[in-house]
Amino acid sequence: MSAPQVAQSSPVGADAALARDVLAHLERQIESARRLLATILAQGAAIRERDVDSVIRRLAEMKTEMELRGALEAERTDLLVRAGEALGLPPAAVTLEGITSLMPEAEARTARERSAELRGLLDEIAREHGINRALMRQELAFLDHLVRLLGQESEGGYRPSGPAAPQGKHRVLNVQA
């Protein structure tokens, strides 16, 4: 006698097309997050090296990736609408567990794993971006300090003279009503 066949458990009404689309979407989200993280890490290195041109290039790369992520968000919304219709829920109420309940078990497990990986990448992106912002604030504060020092130094240097030359405080605009 042969061993009994064990059928793979699939939820009633499992949607193979939704499962395929969700997994492909999560993969695209992960790829985008990896590119964004790489750009943010490169930007951090450029900030530390005070390489202004590289910082600007990385900002442009981040802007481009964020525009691509906008398209991914539209795709995500479409998937939430589809899952919501199948679950009888509004799209905003659809959770990962709700979506995976519509998927065959193997695909649901893969979706949960990819979702966890994506959340980890997004957490790392947020952390590194926060560090970069702090570094840029430090650099700008240092630059502001230098500019102020140079401004004080120049007060002892060239000064316009004559009746139109400002006396004492510098005024940009002197208006009377």
Model pLDDT, residue 26: 98
CATH of 16-155, one of 1.10.3470, 3.30.70, 1.20.58, 1.10.287: 1.20.58
Model pLDDT, residue 161: 55
Q: Are 96 and 112 in contact (CB under 8 A)?
A: yes
Domain boundaries of the chain, sorted by first residue: 16-155
Model pLDDT, residue 74: 96
pLDDT in tens, 53-106: 999 999 999 999 999 999 999 999 999 999 999 999 999 999 999 999 999 999
Model pLDDT, residue 140: 83
C-alpha 40/C-alpha 29 separation (Å) is 16
Whether 166 has a pLDDT exceeding 80, the answer reads no
pLDDT in tens, 98-143: 999 999 999 999 999 999 999 999 999 999 999 999 998 888 887 7
Q: String of b and e for 13-32 (b: at least 16 CB within 10 Å)?
A: ebbeebbebbbebbebbbeb
Whether 41 has a pLDDT exceeding 60, the answer reads yes
* CA angle 80–38–27, rounded 5-degree value: 30
| Mean pLDDT of the region 14-33 | 94
Model pLDDT, residue 139: 83
Model pLDDT, residue 141: 81
Whether 38 has a pLDDT exceeding 60, the answer reads yes
pLDDT band at 27 (very low <50, low <70, confident <90, very high): very high
- Residue 107 C-beta-side C-alpha neighbours within 13 Å: 22
Whether 176 has a pLDDT exceeding 60, the answer reads no
Measured in whole angstroms, the distance separating CA 17 from the mean position of its chain's CA atoms is 29
Q: Who's near 51: CB < 8 A, 6+ residues apart?
A: none
Q: Any idea what DSSP says for residue 154? A: H
Model pLDDT, residue 144: 75
